[in-house]
Amino acid sequence: MSLQLDERLAETGTRFRIFPQPRFLLKADGSGPLFPEPEVVTVSVAPDDIQPGPADDRMFVVDAVNKLPYSRFFRPPYTGSTRPAVEPGEDGHFTHLDPAGREFSAATMYATVRRVLDIWEDYFDHRLDWHFESDFSRMELIPLIEWDNAQSGYGFLEFGFGRTANGTIDHTRPYCENFDVLAHELGHSIIFTEVGVPSNPADQAIDYGGMHESSGDLTAIVALLHFDSFVGHLLNTTRGNLLTVNGLDRVGELSDSREIRVAFNGKRMSDVGEQPHERSLPLTGAIFDTMVEVFQQTLVAEGLITADLRDRSTHLPGSAEDLDLIDADFAAAYRGKKKEFTEALLLARDYLGRLLAVTWGTLSADFLTYHDILRALLRADRALDGGRNQQIIRECFAWREIGPVPTSLLLRPHNLHDCGLSTSRPADDATRAVFPHGVTTAVAANASRKGRTTAARSRKT
Which is it for strands 150-153 and 161-163: parallel, antiparallel or unpaired? unpaired
Low-confidence ranges of the chain (pLDDT < 70): 1-3, 244-261, 315-321, 422-461
User: What 3-state DSSP class applies to 127?
Assistant: coil
Angstrom distance (rounded) from CA 357 to CA 202: 28
Half-sphere exposure of 313 (CA within 13 A, CB side): 29
pLDDT at 89: 96
Q: Please give the C-alpha separations between residue 88 and each of 64, 95, 256, in angstroms, as whole numbers.
A: 19, 8, 33
Q: In the CATH hierarchy, which fold is given to the domain comprising 1-194?
A: Elastase; domain 1 (3.10.170)
CA torsion, ordered 338, 341, 343, 345, to nearest 10 deg: -130
Angstrom distance (rounded) from CA 80 to CA 267: 45
Angstrom distance (rounded) from CA 157 to CA 142: 6
User: What 3-state DSSP class applies to 313?
Assistant: helix
Which helix (H) or strand (E) segment holds residue 440: the answer is helix 440-460
Tell me the domain boundaries of the chain: 1-194, 195-412, 421-460
Tell me how crowded residue 315 is: count the other CB atoms within 10 A of its CB.
11
**Torsion sign (Cα): 9, 13, 17, 19:** negative
Residue type for position 421: L
Question: How many angstroms from the chain centroid is the CA of residue 364?
Answer: 17
Residue type for position 281: L
Angstrom distance (rounded) from CA 4 to CA 418: 56
What backbone phi and psi angles, to 5 degrees, belong to 183?
-65, -40
pLDDT at 30: 78
Angstrom distance (rounded) from CA 167 to CA 184: 24
Are 146 and 154 in contact, with CB atoms under 8 Å apart?
A: no
Half-sphere exposure of 314 (CA within 13 A, CB side): 22
Nearest to residue 304, comparing CAs of 271, 341, 274, 331?
341
Angstrom distance (rounded) from CA 425 to CA 448: 13
pLDDT at 421: 79
pTM: 0.86
